[in-house]
Amino acid sequence: MNNACDAAPAQTGWVRIETHKEGMAVVVRCIDSGPGIDVKHYARLMEPFFTTNGVGEGMGLSLSIGYPLAQKNHGALRFVPGAAHTTFEVTLAAGDA
C-alpha cells in the first residue's frame, strides 16, 4: 500500500484496493495509477533492498518482507505484469466463516 501511495502522482493519482474470494482463498489487490514498473525490474521486485526509488526514498523491504509472510501463511504475494495499472495481489486461504 505504501509503495502504491508513493507511486501514484500527487493530487491526481489514486490507489484502489479490491478484494474477492477465489474458491477457498481470499485475494486482495492493490492497484495504483503510477507510471508502472519497467520490465527490466520484474525479476528483482521481491529482493531485499531492491528499490526503484531515489536515494533516501524507501528501503526496498516491503515486498521482500511480505513475500515470505504470505508464503508462511499458505498464500502468495505477486506482481500482476499484464494488468492495465500497476497491480500487486496477495492470496491467502480463507478461514471458516
CATH superfamily membership of 2-93: Histidine kinase-like ATPase, C-terminal domain (3.30.565.10)
Task: Provide the pLDDT confidence category of residue 5 given band limits of 50, 70 and 90.
Answer: confident
Which pLDDT does position 57 carry in this prediction?
Answer: 78
For residues 36 and 82, the answer to whether their CB atoms sit within 8 Å is no
Mean pLDDT value across residues 79-95? 94
Tens-place pLDDT, residues 37-75? 999 999 999 999 998 887 777 788 999 999 999 999 999
Mean pLDDT value across residues 88-96? 88
Give the count of beta carbons closer than 10 Å to the beta carbon of residue 58: 15
Which pLDDT does position 91 carry in this prediction?
Answer: 97
| Residue 86 zone, left/alpha/beta (φ > 0; ψ -120 to 50; rest) | beta
Mean pLDDT value across residues 21-31? 96
How many Å is the maximal CA-CA distance in the chain?
45
**What are the cell numbers at 91?**
492470496
